Amino acid sequence: MYGRSQSAAQMGTQGQIMSTYDYDLFVIGAGSGGLATSKRAASYGARVAIAEGDRVGGTCVIRGCIPKKLMVYAAEHGHAHGDAAGYGWHSETGSLDWSTLVSKRDAAVENLEHIHEGHLEKAGVELVRGRARLVSAHEVEVDGRRVSAKFILISTGGRPILPRISGIEHAITSDGFFELKTQPGHVLIVGGGYIAVEFASIMAGLGTKVTLAIRRDRPLRGFDEDLRTELLAALRAVGVDVRTETTVDSLSRDGESTTCELTGPSGSEQLVVDHAVVYAVGRRADVDGLGLDAIGIELGAKGEIVVADDDRTAVDSVYAIGDVTERAPLTPVAIQAGRALADRLFGNRNTTMSYDDIPTAVFTEPPIATVGLTTEQAIEKYGESGVTVYRAGFGPLIHTLTDRKVRTFIKMIVHNETDRVLGCHMIGHDAPEIIQGLGVAMKAGATKADFDATVGIHPSTAEEFVTFA
């Protein structure tokens, strides 16, 4: 155990008392990574404080993963209402009460925020309200209060960005999406990444007309090319008007309508939507006002904090984890990296965070999940003759009796020399639940022979991964 007395009076080699610190660890940012680190450090007996200038929980809890997934469930219920007719259920046409959905969603988020606050108190972590600024390698100032710490952790996450175009003040970011008090009749969503395609699927499922403007030919740049193609078709299948290779040049407001000037493959055109134009074109590290320059912390090309493999910045006593570092910006990654850091600093454990084979999901309709190398990455690493790619596409059993034609697609990439599975990818119902288990198998070094030797659960989609021939 680290012990509470160790930093209270640090002894020099001749027995003299060296300078002491107010805290063993001071965390800046009470998002997922900061919360996980602070509680783990406190469990070892470290004196810990965490500063937050906004709401406790960060992007994931307040305006990201949690409220988004609740909206995904709402959209799924809308689809299920229509699908039920194929199974003999008869009811009046369903309608959405937007205000009920929003109020219950917000109440659930607020409750979760209070739960996190309670967990900090129970762990013995002091919550300091306010935006923190680094003063020196061991000092932090929060609203005029200056404190010292042996170690400082920056986990301030990221924030959405907006382009510099005429009329951009008429747009909202992904943060503003969760502040919509009324349901738009027609919304333009700009972007082709996780957030944009998830919002497009959600709003289409809730009954809003959706136009999605993507700068490239397909969404989700960096994902497996087959999945990108399947997702484009899936978005259009649920009614999303996807405009590929399209940019937004300007926005203008007239009452409750917004006119959007677009440029696409066919030239320029105008699109008139409700007041809501949602931009989800990327995020950047939230480092403004932290005082990084003053103490010599280095930033990368995208404005992210540069860290070594052990999460240490250019200042030895200051660390950074999570989205503020631009390394695999996912909530579970920040949590695991933070816990590993606390283990190393206070638990006398050489725990490290592995950034290989990180599973991830995109909650579209249907959802995407993936782990490991894409086909393109595997071929680049091992050569085209060095890998075998298995594919299967089919209509899932659940839609046999419905009018919706939702396609499921799965693939597995195998290294020919070792037979080791390099990647598993899926778009279809329950994809995140299925790929999570396959991620464990891949971490354990599973081979194609291991998959083949596993008896499938029938009838299920998951069995397709163990029946590839």
End-to-end CA separation in angstroms for the chain: 52
Q: How far is Cα 62 from Cα 39, in angstroms, rounded to an integer?
A: 19
CA distance 404 to 31: 39
Catalytic residue among 114, 170, 415, 458: 458
User: Catalytic annotation on 458?
Assistant: yes
Q: Cα 293 to the chain's mean position, in Å?
A: 28
Residue with tokens 């919550």: 127
Full 3-state SS string of the chain? CCCCCCCCCCECCCCCECCCCCEEEEEECCCHHHHHHHHHHHHCCCCEEEEECCCCCHHHHHHCHHHHHHHHHHHHHHHHHHHHHHHCCCCCCCCCCHHHHHHHHHHHHHHHHHHHHHHHHHHCCEEEECCEEEEECCEEEECCEEEEEEEEEECCCEEECCCCCECHHHCEEHHHHCCCCCCCCEEEEECCCHHHHHHHHHHHHCCCEEEEECCCCCCCCCCCHHHHHHHHHHHHHCCCEEECCCEEEEEEEECCEEEEEEEECCEEEEEEEECCEEECCCEEECCCCCCHHHHCCCECCCCCECCCCCCECCCCCEEECHHHHCCCCCHHHHHHHHHHHHHHHHCCCCCCCCCCCCCEEECCCCCEEEEECCHHHHHHHHCHHHEEEEEEEECCHHHCCCCCCCCEEEEEEEECCCCEEEEEEEECCCHHHHHHHHHHHHHCCCEHHHHHCCCCCCCCCHHHHHCCC
Residue closest to 242 by CA, chosen among 364, 74, 95: 364
Amino acid at residue number 174? S
Q: How far apart are CA 157 and CA 180, in angstroms?
A: 23
| Cβ-count burial 117-141 (b if 16+ within 10 Å, e if not) | beebeeeebbebeebbbbebbbbbb
- Which of 135, 163, 174, 158 minimizes the C-alpha distance to 287? 158
Q: Which residues are catalytic?
A: 458
